[in-house]
Amino acid sequence: MSTISNATSNPSDETRMNSIINQFNLIELPKEGGLYQIIDRSSIEVSLPHRMQCDSTLRAQSHIYYMLTRLRPDQPQLSYNYLHSIDDADDLHILVEGDSVDYYLFYEDGHVEHKVLGHSYTDGELPLVTTPGTVASKALKLRSGNHGYAFIISALAPEWTAERCKIGAGQVFLDKYTGKEEWCTTDFLRELIGPNWTDDTAAKS
């Protein structure tokens, strides 16, 4: 796997980041952004009865390595986890090392939350961020810091499956959440959607 280089970053941080990417075989996560690798899945199975139209039996958890980085300026998607949701899953993120990460959570009832995953606990940052399965969608953005990357462990319960993941949003999303908090500007919400703009007006009607 090719290494990541940036002339303005600390060489020791670049070396450390590249060693993580290579050791854990991190690859780009299509559409959502960032780098990832699935670690494993639970041996325990759970059933979601309301999902009878699909496969209602899932593994109880899946565990994922995840990374955001600013050290590829020609690939800005690697510093974001663009707006998305996964049906029927709680998600827990733990920051292993690196810079802080902003979490933007959007709920069905229209309220929003902003949390920061990081190691500056006295500044209100959190060592772990949980996303409830009832959240409508979420997005992550890497903060500028001393390292240029964040290495995260994610645990989803039940497991991640592609067919339950929805990526992107459109005008209905903007109409619902713009102005809910000071940071909920149209431009910033579009930034969190990234390249995954969708026509969601048909779904609303």
Whichever domain contains 130, its CATH number is 2.60.120.10
Please give the backbone phi and psi of residue 120, each rounded to the nearest 5 degrees, phi first.
-90, 75
Specify the DSSP class assigned to residue 67. Answer: E
Contact between 144 and 102 under an 8 Å Cβ cutoff? The reply is no
Instruction: Judge whether 205 lies within some domain.
Output: no
Instruction: Judge whether 77 lies within some domain.
Output: yes
Instruction: Judge whether 1 lies within some domain.
Output: no
Instruction: Judge whether 204 lies within some domain.
Output: no
Total of domains in the chain: 1
Question: What are 154's strand-pairing partners?
Answer: 64, 93
Instruction: Judge whether 25 lies within some domain.
Output: yes
Task: Name the residue among 110, 93, 107, 104 with its Cα closest to residue 160.
Answer: 93
Please give the backbone phi and psi of residue 110, each rounded to the nearest 5 degrees, phi first.
100, -10
Report how far Cα 176 is from the mean position of its chain's Cα atoms.
Answer: 21
Instruction: Judge whether 3 lies within some domain.
Output: no
pLDDT tens, residue by residue, 6-41: 434 577 888 999 999 999 999 999 999 999 999 999
* Neighbouring C-beta atoms of residue 61, cutoff 10 Å: 20
**pLDDT tier for residue 164 given thresholds of 50, 70 and 90:** confident
Report how far Cα 47 is from the mean position of its chain's Cα atoms.
Answer: 25
The rounded distance, in Å, linking the Cα atoms of 8 and 48 is 49
Instruction: Judge whether 179 lies within some domain.
Output: yes
195 upstream amide cis, omega within 30 of 0: no
Instruction: Judge whether 158 lies within some domain.
Output: yes
pLDDT tens, residue by residue, 58-104: 898 999 999 999 998 889 999 999 999 998 899 999 999 999 999 99
Contact between 55 and 67 under an 8 Å Cβ cutoff? The reply is no
Give me the domain span that covers residue 92.
11-47+56-195
